Amino acid sequence: MSTGTAAEAAAREAAAKEGGRDFLRDIVEADVKAGRVKEVVTRFPPEPNGYLHIGHAKSICLNFGIAEEFGGRCHLRFDDTNPTKEEQEFIDAIEADVRWLGFDWGKHLYHASDYFGPLYEWAVHLIKAGKAYVDDTPLEEMRQMRGTLTEPGRPSKFRNRSVEENLDLFRRMRAGEFPNGARVLRAKIDLAAGNMNLRDPVLYRILHAAHPRTGDKWCIYPTYDFAHGQSDAIEHVTHSICTLEFEDHRPLYDWLIENLPVPSRPRQYEFARLNLAYTVLSKRVLTKLVAEGHVSGWDDPRMPTLAGLRRRGVPPAAIREFARRIGVARANSLVEMAIFEHPVRELLNKIALRRMAVLRPLKVVIENYPEGRTEQLEAVNNPEDPSAGTRRVRFGRELFVERDDFMENPPKKFFRLSPGKEVRLRYAYFIKCREAVKNAAGEVVELRCTYDPATRGGNAPDGRKVQATLHWVAAADAVPAEVRLYETLFKTPDPAAADDIFAELNPNSLEVLTDCRIEPALVGGNSREAVQFERQGYFCLDPDSAPGKPVYNRTIGLRDTWAKEKAKGG
């Protein structure tokens, strides 16, 4: 092995660690090296008919990422060719989401609708070249005549209209002389093609509908196939990256580029779209979830939308890291949630301020602690980041601890509180449980404990150890709060594969806890910054919060090896 190849391999490995390496970057790099491309231009082309989701994030990171890595640019271009489905609300939301994710298109904001003029002229160009014709065949009939996967299509009786007649009809289509569906403009390619997209695809259809941007200027609109590649060419996009289901469209993409006087020669490449376990990334289904009220909206924290993830408290950097880790390939896959969750925890662990919050309160009375006395104890804000400093928390005779942290008859491996057992209250004292007070129903409603004054701060002078450290909050100044816990939206890994996807919805995807008590240090701001409720997980303030009535979303729980242990024990 020569040193040259070794160095190359090392360089490639280094690159792989950085931005990730994949077949698309290899193609772009080869094009640049060979001089086929002077400036790399990509584009992210959403249709404004819904909100962006994490699958789009993969594409955004890919397109903007490649442009950045190769010193090129990435356009944000709305694929707004179907005014019956597209809305301004979605346009605005998409722009906001792309920015939130951390990408900047600079001045390169475009719309396919910006090109309706040239697109129309190019349609005329095809007609004049005898490569497109106006077809009056009704929709259903045209469908029949297209043939099947194994049988060729049959020609429409309008297929050989004269150029003059086609020109006239197409002009009148544009002039609004015909109702929706009356006629279409079709490319004249090959009705016997094995590739259905080449069986005289529709280029223009009549749609008497107001467009969010062009208003009533047009009543005929280009189809995706006619608009996309030409838009790429107009913008001098060099690498038009899309998902696998468009692979069959590439011959048509190329045919149009080759038969039109477009200003540049873009190339289309395809990669496998993201599938995430226990959720769904189909805009059709997401739209229905919203429309039918299965979720509170596009930004419901259970939704895989960027708006939902944002409200849930997922940092954009974690999404970018996720996209980097899953890579880009051409094989369909179903990515486990754990792969998404890891970078979320990893990032939040570094930045989230620690606070104490009791989600399911159980009252504790320290019997040997003087009535009416309180004291301030110092607590660390983030052990991962000394610069985050410390804060004071109030301790008193009456406290709340987590219900789950007490068991009357604990199994061997349960380290927490039980009668006679001593534990540490974080940053405070060792306490020992003397008695569990029950109500008439036999439920534990209060713990009577004693504390060891010598353990102030959390260490015993005699060196004795405890097995557990519990979070807690002083009854006197704890603030009531609502906390929302989330599970996956669906109860099965691949809901899209089910006959009835809505039957797969997880009935426990949302749990609302209304009697939580949080540390006062959490109140006073309306910061959306992530916090860690110690021993529980990462949370963020929800917009539903009102003054004095905080509402927190659990972004994600901490890793919980005790829960795992419990599950093992059955």
Residues acting as catalytic residues: 47, 273, 283
The answer to whether residues 454 and 460 touch, using CB atoms and an 8 Å cutoff, is: yes
From the number of C-beta atoms within 10 Å of its C-beta (0-12, 13-18, 19+), residue 322 rates as buried
| CB closer to RNA out of 312 and 345 | 345
- Residue 359 CB, nearest distance to RNA (Å)? 13
Q: Which is nearer to RNA, 327 or 396 (CB)?
A: 327
CB 224 → RNA: shortest distance, Å?
3
Distances (CA, A) of 70 to 39, 108, 260, 371, 513: 8, 17, 29, 68, 49
Whether the CA torsion 185, 206, 233, 271 is positive or negative: it is negative
> What crossing angle do the helices spanning 23-33 and 54-69 adopt, rounded to 10°?
20
Of the candidates 516, 541, 546, which has an alpha carbon nearest to the alpha carbon of residue 531?
541
* Cβ atoms < 10 Å from Cβ of 404: 14
| Least distance CB 548 / RNA (angstroms) | 27
Which residue, among 40, 47, 32, 182, has the nearest Cα to 112 in the 3D structure?
A: 47
- Looking at the Cβ atoms of 50 and 72, the one nearer to RNA is 50
- What percentage of the chain's residues is helix, strand, coil (to nearest 5)? 35, 25, 40
Least distance (Å) between residue 421 CB and RNA:
11
In angstroms, the CA 466 to CA 421 distance is 9
Cα 14–chain centre separation: 28
Query: In whole angstroms, how close is the CB of 233 to RNA at the nearest point?
Result: 16
CB of 176 to RNA, least distance (A): 14
Rounded to a whole number of angstroms, the minimum distance from the CB of residue 546 to RNA is 28
Burial class (CB in 10 A: 0-12, 13-18, 19+), 149: exposed
Q: Which is nearer to RNA, 300 or 430 (CB)?
A: 430
Q: What is the C-alpha to C-alpha distance for residues 438 and 143, in angstroms, rounded to an integer?
A: 73
In the bound state with RNA, the residue whose beta carbon lies nearer, of 300 and 361, is: 361
CB of 547 to RNA, least distance (A): 28
Residue 285 CA, distance from chain mean position: 15
Give the residue with the Cβ less far from RNA, 81 or 279.
Answer: 81
What is the distance between the alpha carbons of residues 468 and 430, in angstroms, rounded to a whole number? 10
Assigned token pair, 548: 């004095």
| 300 vs 421, beta carbon nearer RNA | 421
* Helix 224-234 and helix 116-128, axial crossing angle in degrees, nearest 10: 110
What is d(CA 56, CA 103) in angstroms, rounded to the nearest whole number?
13
Q: What's the rounded Cα separation, in Å, for the pair 74 and 104?
A: 8
If one counts every other C-beta atom within 10 angstroms of the C-beta of residue 245, the result is 10
Q: Output the six-digit token pair for 272.
A: 């496998």
Helix (H) or strand (E) holding 77: strand 73-78
Q: Which is nearer to RNA, 21 or 236 (CB)?
A: 21
Nearest distance, CB of residue 194 and RNA, angstroms: 2
CB of 218 to RNA, least distance (A): 12
SS3 46: coil
Q: How is residue 537 annotated by DSSP?
A: E
Buried b (16+ CB within 10 A) or exposed e, 407-430: beeeeeebbbbbbebbbbbbbbbb
Nearer to RNA, 248 or 487 (CB): 248
Q: Which is nearer to RNA, 141 or 164 (CB)?
A: 141
The sign of the dihedral angle between the CA atoms of 62, 68, 70, 76 is positive
Angle at 320 between CA 315 and CA 325, to 5 degrees: 125
